């Protein structure tokens, strides 16, 4: 389980400061205009003292709240606490129940609103914050008994979730529609993804540099090499060995070398519609790796680009943590909130 640091806002009973400016006209000459007790839902106080001020310029009056309190009937602290309980895996109703020993009565709908508010704050906080390296990965979270495909984007600079969309990762048009505004708004220049053709197409269209997660590459290439080992003619086994070495060392000239190998291996078509021969499969592997070579080793010369998409997978894992304890999400908004809040881990 990830660490959730409980950084709760401070709540004061009385205000220790005077407002500096009028809330309406920014006028600076203010008169105290009475005080009142405001009932508040909080884990410590039942009520706080609120002063009213009158502006000498526009003559309007307004309330000045102590720290941690605003016009809402819950303190900022309680709103955040309710959201944290939910993120840690409690249902809306159990959050409400867990707060009753503090003498607090909240409906499950208030907990829901607190949660949406915290997620929105998180989103606003980061809306325009630039992201240079964006990790993108697909997931199939449990949502209302179904497992819809979603895409998740993570700032790999600091590991915080940036966005979630109902997008099928294998559909390049859909991926592009979702990614393009995000990339423009955040000024993304590199994406880190797995080796799907759709991501490659979109990276090209949006003029992004791409790092393909090395875990994925090694997995699928390793699998292909093992299959070929049993099927290619013995005289060509050395090519498999060389591919393996190239992929481990990722030298800059790897693309050229793979292309040379591709030219050396003869084509062996088993008829036009027949299955590919083992040598044809090997040729296909060589040309594919040669063409994609740059996207395997971007991290080698760009120090802030990670060589795997692990940062994105971690965020997805934290989002799923809540989903496991409650057996899936009931709504899209709930899942969105969980991503933004739980996905941020220690930052929440």
Choose the binding region for Zn ion from 14-22, 224-232, 261-269, 325-333 (rule: CB under 5 A): 14-22
Residue 144's H or E segment, with its range, is: none
- Which of 62/332 has CB closer to Zn ion? 62
**CA Rg value for the chain:** 28
Here the tokens at position 169 are: 């990762």
Q: CB of 66: closest distance to Zn ion in angstroms?
A: 21
> Residue 312 corresponds to which tokens in the numbers above?
């994105």
Taking residues 27 to 56 in sequence order and writing x for each that binds Zn ion by CB under 5 A, - otherwise, the string is x---------------------------x-
Q: Pattern 68-97, binding to Zn ion, x per CB under 5 A?
A: ------------------------------
Minimum CB–partner distance for residue 92 and Zn ion (Å):
40
Residues in contact with Zn ion, total (CB under 5 A)? 7
On whether the CB atoms of residues 233 and 268 are closer than 8 A, the answer is no
Select from 17-25, 120-128, 203-211, 251-259 the region that touches Zn ion (CB under 5 A): 17-25
Report the residue number, 57 or 264, with the smaller CB distance to Zn ion. 57
Is the distance from CB of 226 to CB of 206 less than 8 angstroms? Answer: no
Q: Which stretch binds Zn ion (CB under 5 A): 24-32, 203-211, 293-301, 340-348?
A: 24-32
Pick out residues in 128-157 that bind Zn ion (CB under 5 A): none
The residue among 23 and 330 lying less far from Zn ion, judged by its C-beta, is 23
> C-alpha angle 44/45/50, rounded to 5°?
145
Sign of the C-alpha dihedral computed for residues 187, 156, 162 and 146 taken in this order: positive
**Subset of 247-286 contacting Zn ion (CB under 5 A):** none
Sign of CA dihedral 63, 67, 72, 75: negative
Per CB under 5 A, the list member of 10, 21, 25, 28 interacting with Zn ion is 25
Residue closer to Zn ion, measured from CB, 30 or 298? 30
Tokens encoding 142: 């449990």
Question: The tokens of 24 are what?
Answer: 């309406």
Cα-based distances in Å from 333 to 115, 197, 298, 318 = 10, 30, 36, 17
CB of 31 to Zn ion, least distance (A): 11
Smallest separation (angstroms) from Zn ion to the CB of 343: 42
24 binds Zn ion, rule: CB under 5 A:
yes
Q: Closest approach of Cβ 28 to Zn ion, in Å?
A: 9
In the complex, the smallest distance separating the C-beta of residue 62 from Zn ion, rounded to whole angstroms, is 8
What six digits make up the tokens of 58?
């526009």
H helices of 72-164, in order, are 76-87, 92-98, 108-126
- Give residues with Cβ within 8 angstroms of 71, minimum separation 6: 63, 65
Considering the complex, state which of residue 57 and residue 333 has its C-beta at the smaller distance from Zn ion. Answer: 57
d(CA 202, CA 256): 25
Interface positions with Zn ion (CB under 5 A): 22, 24-25, 27, 55, 57-58
């Amino acid at each position: 389980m990830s660490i959730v640091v409980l950084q709760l806002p401070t709540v004061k009973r009385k205000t220790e400061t005077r407002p500096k400016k009028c809330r309406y006209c920014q006028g600076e000459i203010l008169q105290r205009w009475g005080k009142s007790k405001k009932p508040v839902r909080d884990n410590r106080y039942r009520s706080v003292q609120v002063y009213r001020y009158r502006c000498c310029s526009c003559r309007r009056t307004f309330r000045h709240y102590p720290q941690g309190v605003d016009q809402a009937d819950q303190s900022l602290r309680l709103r955040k606490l309710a959201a944290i309980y939910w993120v840690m895996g409690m249902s809306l109703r159990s959050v409400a129940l867990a707060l009753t020993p503090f003498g607090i009565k909240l409906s499950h709908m208030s907990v829901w609103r607190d949660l949406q508010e915290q997620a929105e704050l998180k989103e606003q906080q980061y809306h325009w914050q630039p992201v240079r390296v964006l990790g993108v990965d697909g997931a199939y979270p449990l949502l209302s008994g179904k497992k819809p495909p979603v895409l998740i984007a993570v700032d790999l600079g600091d590991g915080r979730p940036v966005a979630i969309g109902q997008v099928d990762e294998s559909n390049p048009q859909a991926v592009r529609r979702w990614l393009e505004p995000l990339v423009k708004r955040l000024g993304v220049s590199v994406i880190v993804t797995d080796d799907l053709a759709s991501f490659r197409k979109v990276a090209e269209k949006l003029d992004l540099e791409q790092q393909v997660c090395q875990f994925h590459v090694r997995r699928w290439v390793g699998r292909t090499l093992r299959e070929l080992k049993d099927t290619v003619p013995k005289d060509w086994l050395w090519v498999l060995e060389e591919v393996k070495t190239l992929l481990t060392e990722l030298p800059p000239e790897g693309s050229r070398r793979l292309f040379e190998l591709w030219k050396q291996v003869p084509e062996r078509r088993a008829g036009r519609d027949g299955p590919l021969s083992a040598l044809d499969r090997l040729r296909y592997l060589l040309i594919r790796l040669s063409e994609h070579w740059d996207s395997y080793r971007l991290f080698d010369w760009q120090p802030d680009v990670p060589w795997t998409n692990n940062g994105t997978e971690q965020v997805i894992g934290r989002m799923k943590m809540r989903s496991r304890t409650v057996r899936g999400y009931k709504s899209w908004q709930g899942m969105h909130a969980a991503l933004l809040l739980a996905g941020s881990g220690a930052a929440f």
